Every structure is written in C-alpha cells, then in structure tokens.
C-alpha cells in the first residue's frame, strides 16, 4: 500500500493498480488533517492487509528525496493565525520516538545510484507527515508487528519550483525503487 498527501497525489494516481515484484499497489489519497490522516490509513491497512505501507509527503524546502528514519511523538500546530505555535503529543502515552525497521540509509543510497538525489533523514518534521509516520509506527508496534512502515518526503514539482523542484517522472521512479527495495528486503 502507498499513501500520499496532496499535492503528491499524482504519484499515487500513477502507481495505483500497478504491480511491483508481484505486489499490487493501492494508492489512496490521505487528508491533510491531524487525526484523520492516521485513522484513514490505519483503516485502509485493516481493509487491504498490505505487507508494507509507504507514505509520501511533500517537503517544500527540500531538493531531494528524503527517506525518513524516525517518527517523533510531537505535533506542532499553529494558532493565532500562525503567530504562536502549540506543541502536543501524537499519542499521549506513547514513547518519545519510534524508529522504522526499513533500511533507510541503504534505500537512499540506492536511489542516488539510480541518478536521483536522495538522503536518509532522521525525522519527518513536526507537521502532519510526522504525525502520520509516528501513528503508523505506533499502529505497527501495537497491532501489526510484521507490517513494514516507510515514509518518504519528496521535493516540490518542477512546475511548483523551477529552480529546486523535481520532475514527476523522477519522483515516481524513486518511489517505485523504494517499493521494490522494501519488498526485496522482506524476502
């Protein structure tokens, strides 16, 4: 299963229904909302029963694919029209951080070998991407220990940022490679 936030929905749509290494790709779109993002994806996991979940989000200030390692039990929400920030936990009783068992450094290296700029990243921020990543890692820990959970951030599309953006073809190629590598790692 691959889940995506808008505006990388184009990647999801292009992969939805494809088969990679005998695995069918299901690519639902995820609402950019704190609690709903986790509930939508965990419900999809319950319904589809995938072996892995790869979530993808937009990192507007990056120029490369970021393969995330750690989900933090931290949210940073703005209030007062962005003048003040409120910090809270994703899971009130959860651990401070959860680490994916996906080989993120290796995956980033393999993406670079394919000619696409990529790096391992040690945390997925404090916005909804991290919220979802942490929520899925917590779900794995408590309900589905065999599930592989991965989160990848992509840069803006070239059409959004001509200087620092990446083409949709490069992003899609990188995501396909991540899926392939995670599936190979499981065998």
Q: Which entry of 68, 110, 150, 170 is annotated as an active-site residue?
A: 68
Spans in the chain with pLDDT lower than 50: 4-6
- Rounded to two decimals, the pTM is 0.91
pLDDT tens for each residue of 30-66: 888 888 999 999 999 999 999 999 999 999 889 999 9
Residue 71's alpha-carbon distances to 23, 53, 89, 173, in angstroms, are: 26, 14, 12, 24
Distance CA 25, CA 44 (A): 13
The residue annotated as part of the active site, out of 110, 150, 153, 170, is 153
Is residue 68 among the annotated active site residues? yes
Where do the structural domains in the chain lie, given as residue ranges? 2-182
Residue 58 CB partners (closer than 8 Å, separation 6+): 5, 7, 8, 153, 154, 155, 156
Q: Which of 110, 129, 150, 170 is catalytic?
A: 129
Domain covering 2-182 in this structure, CATH number: 3.40.630.20
């Amino acid at each position: 299963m691959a889940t995506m936030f808008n505006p990388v929905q184009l990647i999801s749509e292009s992969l939805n229904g494809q088969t990679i290494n005998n695995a069918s790709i299901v690519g639902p779109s995820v609402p950019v909302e704190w609690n709903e993002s986790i509930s939508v994806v965990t419900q999809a996991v319950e319904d589809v029963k995938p072996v892995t979940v790869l979530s993808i989000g937009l990192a507007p200030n990056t120029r490369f694919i970021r393969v995330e390692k750690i989900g933090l039990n931290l949210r940073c929400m703005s209030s007062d029209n962005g003048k003040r920030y409120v910090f809270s936990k994703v899971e009130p009783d959860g651990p401070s951080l959860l680490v994916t068992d996906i080989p993120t450094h290796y995956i980033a290296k393999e993406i670079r070998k394919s000619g696409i700029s990529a790096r391992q990243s040690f945390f997925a921020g404090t916005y909804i991407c991290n919220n979802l990543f942490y929520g899925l890692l917590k779900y794995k820990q408590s309900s589905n220990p065999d599930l592989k959970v991965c989160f990848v951030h992509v840069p803006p599309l070239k059409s959004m940022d001509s200087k620092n953006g990446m083409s949709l073809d490069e992003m899609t190629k990188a995501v396909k490679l991540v899926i392939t590598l995670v599936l190979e790692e499981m065998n």
